[in-house]
Amino acid sequence: MRDHHLMERVIDLDEVAGVLAGQKVGWRSAGLEVGQVTWRDAEASWPQSLETHRARVHDPDSIGVVISGLGEAELSVVLFRGGWADVDFIAGLDDAGSLPASGITTVSDFEARMDQWVTRVFGVCGAAQ
């Protein structure tokens, strides 16, 4: 079992937050609801609570966001600084589950994957180019 304090910093979560802020505009214009970004502090005692204010998180080890669409459609993404993400979705009554997400090494890679996941779940591409 790996110690979270030793989790390799593969990806800069503050840069990811900036990307999500940019993508949010496109997602909202496509009719999606975008929840507040949540942060988890590696130094917080277990069970670690999620914070919505970055300033309260000294050493972030994950960033998450939930996006909702029509009906029950929902996409939940939590990216860990080690370069993997927990991606869970509900696209329809018979279409739900988790998507594989590892080996994320750059912020632009994460941004491209977010676009793929949003398209997969909601059928819209929310990238505001």
Query: Whole-model pTM above 0.95?
Result: no
- What pLDDT, on a 0 to 100 scale, did the predictor assign at position 47? 87
Residue ranges per structural domain of the chain = 10-36+62-122
Higher pLDDT among residues 61 and 128, named by residue: 61
**8-54, pLDDT tens digit by residue?**
889 999 999 999 999 999 999 999 999 999 999 999 988 889 999 99
Q: What are the tokens at 13?
A: 């979560």
Using the predicted structure, report yes or no on whether residue 126 has a pLDDT greater than 70.
Answer: no
Using the predicted structure, report yes or no on whether residue 128 has a pLDDT greater than 60.
Answer: no
User: Cα-Cα-Cα-Cα dihedral of 97, 74, 87, 83, to 10°?
Assistant: 170
- What pLDDT, on a 0 to 100 scale, did the predictor assign at position 48? 85
Using the predicted structure, report yes or no on whether residue 74 has a pLDDT greater than 90.
Answer: yes
Radius of gyration for the chain, computed over Cα atoms and rounded to the nearest angstrom: 14
Angle at 81 between CA 40 and CA 127, to 5 degrees: 95
Residue 16: which residues within 8 A CB-CB, separation 6 or more? Answer: 63, 79, 107, 110
Query: Where does the pLDDT of residue 5 fall: very low under 50, low under 70, confident under 90, or very high at 90 and above?
Result: low
- What pLDDT, on a 0 to 100 scale, did the predictor assign at position 1? 41
| CB distance 44 to 117 below 8 Å | no
**75-112, pLDDT tens digit by residue?**
999 999 999 999 999 999 899 999 989 999 999 999 99
- What pLDDT, on a 0 to 100 scale, did the predictor assign at position 46? 85
